[in-house]
Amino acid sequence: MVELGKEMTRMKVLHVYNVAGVASVIAKFMDRFCSTESHVIHRRESEKYGLTTCGEVVDCGPWRFALKCISESRKYDIIHVHDFDKLLPWLSKLCKKKPKIIHYHGSRIRNRWKERAKYYKHSSAILYSVRDVESSKMPHSAIFMPNPVDIDLFHQTPQCIKKPSSALSMLNSLDLAKAKEYAEMYGLKLTLQELGIPHEEMPNLLSKYEYYIDVKTIGESTSKTGLEALACRLRVINHNGELLEKLPEQHKPENVVTHLHELYNTLDEA
């Protein structure tokens, strides 16, 4: 909350870009649990599966998108940028007094901390959502902020009949050899799914299986789909062949947004 005299106004948060739908989940649950007013802006070109369930999708090129974000940012108290770190130097010049957060989600920063420093040095705080991007070259001030799961959408669906000893894997960046190895290890029949499933249909797809095999060619952290599978009460086999059976507390949306809101308040007071 922002105090103006005796009145209390809601903190207004702008999320720029919506990598893997994370910004939409944060905005939705932070408004619910922390009484903020959040808005998400995302580009149509990057919106393939309906992940922007909360926010605005604009149909324009990168430069016009950047100009729109800079213009919109003047209406908000906090500017939370997801991966689009090239925007930070401009925001730093044009919105000097507003806290600006950069939130990295994987390949944009993995093994590139030194390279991206010219951008993230303009931020008020640096967040990262997966442990496998950690590096000795990352700033000591960088904060791990786990990905939240939309538990309104992803939850156990008793009406779906699971196929016995069944496992699902998504073909995007899949380590196919390892996926097959783990399926054989656990005695499972593996189904490989092409990308293209609308986000709202994913819970029903996941709920038809008992297991989700979550192994990728790049990165060893549990993927967002893996976390969503856990929320749907599947067992997830991770990169090391370990079995996960429950969505960790740190990925529950109420815990993520509470932690993040505390950070917002710290920056807003600085």
106-123 residue pLDDT tens: 999 999 999 999 999 999
Confidence grade of residue 269 (pLDDT, cut at 50, 70, 90): low
Q: What is the pLDDT of residues 13-39, one digit of tens each?
A: 999 999 999 999 999 999 999 999 999
Confidence grade of residue 270 (pLDDT, cut at 50, 70, 90): low
Can you give the pLDDT at residue 4?
A: 45
Q: What is the mean pLDDT of residues 218-226?
A: 93
Cα dihedral across residues 166, 172, 177, 181: positive or negative = negative
pTM of the model: 0.94
Q: What is the mean pLDDT of residues 62-77?
A: 95
Confidence grade of residue 8 (pLDDT, cut at 50, 70, 90): low
Q: Is the pLDDT of residue 204 over 60?
A: yes
